[in-house]
Amino acid sequence: AQSVSQHNHHVILSEAASLELGCNYSYGGTVNLFWYVQYPGQHLQLLLKYFSGDPLVKGIKGFEAEFIKSKFSFNLRKPSVQWSDTAEYFCAGFYGNNRLAFGKGNQVVVIP
Amino acid sequence: DTAVSQTPKYLVTQMGNDKSIKCEQNLGHDTMYWYKQDSKKFLKIMFSYNNKELIINETVPNRFSPKSPDKAHLNLHINSLELGDSAVYFCASSQAAYRNEQFFGPGTRLTVL
């Protein structure tokens, strides 16, 4: 089945630590991938997206992600997190023409 | 200047009732969606409309009926509510149906007692 998987559902780290969240997708063909963030009690906001071109994608709030086709991965990174990065992070990808499949999310807690 | 808005934000109701959630987008998008986010935060597509036509209908009980009066609005009506319907329902929109970035509304937290 076509799917997106995320690992290490709960991540706790201190401010200024580096963050990396893994995302793997299991379908072939054209790949369009996204990372969304959901702050507590809020809606999903787009952090970054990959459609084509440079596999290293820069997003908002200092986040970046790298698409590695050979590893079927699209991992999210931030070199130095802040308390305000406490949120749920979702990787998502299209399968078929317009069905967006979400991973189960990573709950990230940043301790001041 | 809210892009995708939903009402109500919270909805608490008894089992067996019928309720509706409304969604509106002012982005001029052609495509709108309903997602369900369960208690474990898992998000799943339910329906999608493109220019008022239903294009995605996932395995959802037929107690759930979407309606799109125009391409800026997509409402979700739920009949005979059950405990398992408790979740957060998100509306989203995209410029077109084919592999476009989706913009999400603030969500409606439905609690069925």
Contacts 24+ apart (CB under 8 A), A51-55: A51/B99
- Chain A residues with CB under 8 Å of a chain B CB are 30, 32, 34, 36, 38, 42-46, 49, 51, 88, 90, 94, 97-102, 104-105, 107
The pLDDT of residue B102 is 93
Q: How many degrees, rounded to 5, is the angle at CA B105 between CA B23 and CA A60?
A: 155
Query: DSSP class of residue A21?
Result: E
State the best of B99, B100, B108, B109 to mutate against chain A, taking most chain A CBs within 10 Å. B99
In the predicted model, what is the mean pLDDT of residues B3-32? 96
pLDDT-above-90 percentage for chain A: 72
- Chain B residues with CB under 8 Å of a chain A CB are 4, 31, 40-45, 48, 55-56, 90, 94, 97-107
Contacts of A46 in chain B (CB under 8 A): 101, 103
Tell which phi-psi region holds residue A58, choosing left (phi > 0), alpha (psi between -120 and 50) or beta. Answer: beta
Closest C-alpha among B64, B89, B90 to residue B78: B64
- Catalogue the E-assigned strands of A1-112: 4-6, 10-14, 19-21, 23-25, 33-38, 44-50, 56-58, 64-68, 73-78, 87-95, 99-102, 106-111
**The two three-digit tokens of residue A42, written as one number:** 């809020």
A49-98: per-residue pLDDT in tens?
A: 998 899 999 999 999 999 998 999 999 999 999 999 999 999 999 877 67
In the predicted model, what is the mean pLDDT of residues A6-12? 88
C-beta atoms of A100 and B100 within 8 A: no
C-beta atoms of A97 and B98 within 8 A: yes
**More confidently predicted of A97 and B70:** B70
B10-24: per-residue pLDDT in tens?
A: 999 999 999 999 999
The pLDDT of residue A94 is 85
The pLDDT of residue B54 is above 60:
yes
Closest C-alpha among A98, A96, A106 to residue A36: A106
The pLDDT of residue B99 is 81
The pLDDT of residue B75 is 96
Tell which phi-psi region holds residue A61, choosing left (phi > 0), alpha (psi between -120 and 50) or beta. Answer: left
CB atoms inside a 10 Å sphere around CB A14:
10
At which residue do the structure tokens 């069925």 appear? Answer: B112
Contacts of A105 in chain B (CB under 8 A): 41-43
Confidence of residue B41 (pLDDT cuts 50, 70, 90): confident
The pLDDT of residue A1 is above 60:
no
Confidence of residue A31 (pLDDT cuts 50, 70, 90): confident
- B23 and B77 in contact (C-beta within 8 Å)? no
C-beta atoms of A102 and B42 within 8 A: yes
The pLDDT of residue A106 is 95
The pLDDT of residue A32 is above 70:
yes
